[in-house]
Amino acid sequence: MNFELSDDQSAIARAVGDICARFGDDYWLRKDREGGFPEDFYRAIAEAGWLGIAMPTEYGGAGLGIAEAALMMETISASGAGFSGASAVHMNVFGLHPVVVFASDEQKRRWLPPIIQGETKACFGVTEPDAGLNTLKLKTTATRHGDHYVVKGQKIWISTAQVAQKILLLARTAPVGSGKPSHGLSLFYTDLDRSKVEIREIEKHGRKAVDSNQLFIDGLIVPEADRIGEEGRGFEYILHGMNPERVLISAEAIGLGRAALAKAAAYAGQRMVFDRPIGQNQGIQHPLAERWVDLEAGTLLYQRAAWLYDQHKPCGAEANAAKFFCAEAGYRACETAVLTHGGMGYAKEYHVERYLREAMLPRIAPVTPQLILSFIAERVLHLPKSY
């Protein structure tokens, strides 16, 4: 067992950290106030070649593993960019995993280089207002007409749709009840044609810089050449990417927690009340120390899940456990950071209230704590399926 980062991994963290250092607290505070995609940050990461960290080398990527991608995402988030920074690049870094694994060579040649170079932005179109977490009940239909499909339906919470040129879209090609439940959905990667898709931004709790949206799709034409793999197997293709995605979200949550803890420790060291730094009081020290322990434990969980995935070993339980624990650990660190700052924790200029708002996100998406615990109860503890 070797718990040390390799020289290459340390170099990745340093190089990504150097880019992030150009985008300080004031940049992210302004983005959080005003909104607007952090295009200059995105470009800086793209130009340095980091979007392709886990993409195959034959299409211009670096061909590294999820362990390295997670390290990069933790570094971005921990820089203070939080989920505003991480979500801006998340889709390019990993969202096209189903394309990497299941698309044809011709499709990969068409789609991967622009995503790796940052020329194309894509959004991930799965969640629907009526289906919720029950993805097998998606209602958006893709009806075949000769060499193309016509898509009709609604999606919700689709992040980056305001700026994306492409959408990875899961839609129904066979009605519910016609055969195996997991076999009615197909996966497409296609142009987000705004003449056929109305995109309405949702006003939300945090991460204003990276939009999330309702999509009203009416007659979107999708060429057959934009279907990934076989018709009807889209759900399976999406599932394949879920474990590594949980690892990346875990790393992003831990990074945010580390950013919050650093701010809180710095504040506790210099804020004088009762003629001493507040950080001299155990009532302030102990919660901060406990949060550090949480973040370290979460890091080990996600690194182990990443290692298993990169070794092509099963990692469902570990990736889910990491996502559950890291999201909670990140949130607790942000909450403690706000409380450590007293009244100033509530002021935007001290940044930790922004972190706390963002820390809700990895608890909810891409899957909720309840569903993760149900998965572990069923698959690890062999209890009856509850849903």
Ligand X SMILES: Cc1cc2nc3c(=O)[nH]c(=O)nc-3n(C[C@H](O)[C@H](O)[C@H](O)COP(=O)(O)OP(=O)(O)OC[C@H]3O[C@@H](n4cnc5c(N)ncnc54)[C@H](O)[C@@H]3O)c2cc1C
Which positions touch ligand X (CB under 6 A)?
Answer: 123-127, 132-133, 157-159, 204, 212, 361, 364-368, 370-371, 374, 387
Cβ distance to ligand X smaller for residue 123 or 284? 123
DSSP 180: S
Question: Least distance from C-beta 202 to ligand X, angstroms?
Answer: 8
| Shortest Cβ 7–ligand X spacing (Å) | 35
Q: Which is nearer to ligand X, 6 or 370 (CB)?
A: 370
Number of H helices, E strands in the chain: 14, 10
| Least distance CB 387 / ligand X (angstroms) | 3
Min dist CB 207 to ligand X, Å, is 6
Token output for 249:
């979200």
* All residues at 6 or more sequence positions from 203 whose CB lies less than 8 Å from its CB, including other chains: none
Nearer residue to ligand X within complex by CB, 170 or 333: 170
CB of 126 to ligand X, least distance (A): 3
CB 258 within 8 A of CB 81: no
CB of 382 to ligand X, least distance (A): 18
Q: What is the DSSP string of 118-173?
A: TS--EEEE---TTTTT-GGG---EEEEETTEEEEEEEEEEEETTTT-SEEEEEEES
**Closest to ligand X by CB, 13 or 371:** 371
Choice between 205 and 286, CB closer to ligand X: 205
Q: Closer CB to ligand X, residue 127 or residue 303?
A: 127
357 phi, psi to nearest 5 deg: -65, -40
Among 111, 100, 88, 1, CA closest to 40: 88
Give the three-state DSSP class for 351: coil
Which residue of this chain has its Cβ atom nearest to ligand X in the complex? 132
Are β-strands 166-172 and 122-125 bridged in parallel, bridged antiparallel, or unpaired? parallel
